[in-house]
Structure 1
């Protein structure tokens, strides 16, 4: 499909915006210029001065399929991602069955090929059945089209299991991606152990349950020579440990979610399970430390941890409802409105955290807007204001604390490998 994108604006390396036309053909960006005249086009799109960026990348989402199709499917989840401007997502393995062997992984890859509207790079589990006991066959699984290894949703409880996994992953040039949580000091918690747990009389999750496992794992990663990536960092102690590990030359990277940047425990005013996620919303001091860590490079990029659940599940209240909120359709406008427009970060920083940063860290050939690169592109209207309405989500999950928030910075078109997979006027 030969498409000419006219009257777009793109970000330069210095953060300035430049007007441009972009010619796309054969799934690649053929030309970027101030003005392009081209014949035999399949389509010309007037971008109306909107921002054109590389397609967003999210290395941490839950598509729920197989086994949890009442929450989300590969089809609905990738349509939601495309609407949010994402062209590459990495799906977590807490499904039924777990992608822990060649058979289940190949079945998942076939389903992705059949139903996904964008690129899905699936994780394989570190341990069989996500039970934290017996390692999967990392040597054999690494030969398949998997992104990395993780037991996301549960922390690996024994140091030896994690060390052996890291050694095997390093041998196969794969990353170990970790949900860090020491089960022995969770104490049945459902919110942060602090003001909110006292105020709502709910069991709290101590910050130490996260940071102590990160501290263990960075030393194991140093010994194994493994790329170790920390999921959804939430505490100031975790930021400190990761910062010290990076200074020591250990190959550790980390992500933070939009909700941990924008909310804290004070945001939970009453028993509303749309504010229940794991790790939980922490203190204001933790929130500030996360922002500082992102700005100084201790935390490398932003990932949504998109975790859809049914309305019935979330209606049970904080004590009984499952952990998790959705994020694919709200991330860019929320962060643009509350971080860029307030002057806390630049537009260039935000776009980089959603594109080139994760691509570079995981050696992905995406996340760039340049001639000769894959035509994964997102067009964003930075001016129009709208209100987040969970009832319009393409995702099956409506579980968000951001319903009715006013935002700007709306993705209006998403192109994956040169094909339009979302267009606001055509879909909404």
Structure 2
């Protein structure tokens, strides 16, 4: 594939025999950055004809929750390295979380991240602004200035920390309503999780690790959906992880409250049992939960209670993970493995088809984040943001082969189903044959 494309002018391509949403084989013509034609036996420049027979064609994926670490922790990740990893995972857009150093709490910092993404060019980078100054939870940040900046911020979060003050949360919801913004809440009641190390339950007691109760997440979600309904403003729940949280969101949606929610790939597949190894690779916030929680999360993603999958890609340098459990940083990388994990957890189990994957991993995150030009259906005239995926190509995850600057993957040595073969950003290949361009 790569040789045939590299000889071409890179202005137009015919992708022949792909399977949009896993359906019947068809051809797609990409020209001038958009999908120009869809149909059978389409013609195009000979050098730009690419045989993609059997590959599932999806809209370019959109990640609503990515940590790119720049500025401040370039030892863990940069906008350049993180977006290369995103493209390799099939993503054409990512939302960059604000827990950087300095925090992305001003127009200047979000514009810096936005322009770094433009310069890198591997995928679109949409900054998320901090809700409070320094993410300290005491004073609202410059929400309006960030919204009016070149980055056009519409999502605000103190992710990594909860906006635990109810009055401050209400004020934030009221403020962003004026420009159709959304507050993305890291739902963690801080007083209930002081010193917490893993999911609270029988296993935490057996292992002697302080427990992280489900109610710490659920209490904040319950409060915030009521605040959102009262204000008439949008709230988004980051990395929802418990069965109880699912029921609260389901209840709120049944009443028409403006709430959306995301789940991470690792919370769809991994359980707290892995913590018995005391391997800090499995230390994450929120913690890995019980098998019954995983079952509830899968069902909620399938029925739409949970709107989307978001990676919570959280890179850390080796010294922050290869240490004793209590001292280890929380988080896992996930951009390069997300689609494979979703295939295993949701598609291979019959809970979602490929159209459902496109909805949960492209349409919904773009809609929630109000990101124009991304997350659009495969139709004539739409931007040519595409992911070509081989669901019948299992691979063994080798940390050394990841292109992220960090290697803290929980899937090392694991065989995952399916691989991203190519990614196109507005008709330009950013990944070919699984290799970044």
TM-score normalized with structure 1 length: 0.95
Q: Matches of 2:263 and 2:337 in 1, distance apart?
A: 15
1:351 counterpart = 2:358: yes
Deviation at 1:185, TM superposition (A): 0.8
Moved more, 255-264 or 354-363: 354-363
Moved more, 247-256 or 44-53: 44-53
Contact 2:79–2:113 (Cα < 8 Å) also in 1: no
Structure 1 partner of 2:201: 194
Contact 2:298–2:345 (Cα < 8 Å) also in 1: no
Give the one of 18, 25, 44 matched to 2:31: 25
Give the one of 207, 224, 247 matched to 2:231: 224
Q: Matches of 2:350 and 2:414 in 1, distance apart?
A: 19
Q: Matches of 2:435 and 2:294 in 1, distance apart?
A: 38
Contact 1:72–1:395 (Cα < 8 Å) also in 2: yes
Contact 1:61–1:307 (Cα < 8 Å) also in 2: yes
1:92 counterpart = 2:106: no
Alignment of 1:371-410 (within 5 A): 371-410=380-419
Structure 1 partner of 2:211: 204
Deviation at 1:338, TM superposition (A): 3.7
Structure 2 partner of 1:10: 20
Deviation at 1:46, TM superposition (A): 1.2
Structure 2 partner of 1:414: 423
Deviation at 1:327, TM superposition (A): 0.5
Deviation at 1:198, TM superposition (A): 1.7
Q: Residues 96-150 of structure 1, C-alpha deviation per residue, up to 9 Å, x if partnerless?
A: 1111112222222222222241101010110010001110122222112224111
Q: Matches of 2:245 and 2:345 in 1, distance apart?
A: 24
Contact 2:154–2:180 (Cα < 8 Å) also in 1: no
Structure 2 partner of 1:77: 82
Contact 1:94–1:152 (Cα < 8 Å) also in 2: yes
Q: Matches of 2:280 and 2:435 in 1, distance apart?
A: 34
Deviation at 1:191, TM superposition (A): 0.8
Unmatched 5+ residue regions in structure 2?
A: 1-10
Q: Matches of 1:29 and 1:42 in 2, distance apart?
A: 18
Task: Call closer, same or farther: CA 1:335–1:277 in 2, change over 3 Å.
Answer: same
1:268 counterpart = 2:275: yes
Contact 1:200–1:270 (Cα < 8 Å) also in 2: no
1:36 counterpart = 2:36: no
Moved more, 375-384 or 197-206: 197-206
Contact 1:180–1:210 (Cα < 8 Å) also in 2: yes
Structure 1 partner of 2:63: 58
Deviation at 1:335, TM superposition (A): 1.9
TM-score normalized with structure 2 length: 0.93
Contact 1:186–1:206 (Cα < 8 Å) also in 2: yes
Q: How many residues align?
A: 423
Give the one of 159, 163, 172 matched to 2:179: 172
Deviation at 1:166, TM superposition (A): 0.4
Q: Matches of 1:285 and 1:271 in 2, distance apart?
A: 21
Moved more, 122-131 or 44-53: 44-53
Deviation at 1:42, TM superposition (A): 6.0
Contact 1:100–1:124 (Cα < 8 Å) also in 2: yes
Root-mean-square deviation (CA, aligned residues, Å) is 1.6
Contact 1:155–1:178 (Cα < 8 Å) also in 2: yes
Deviation at 1:425, TM superposition (A): 6.0
SS at match of 1:229: strand
Deviation at 1:427, TM superposition (A): 5.0
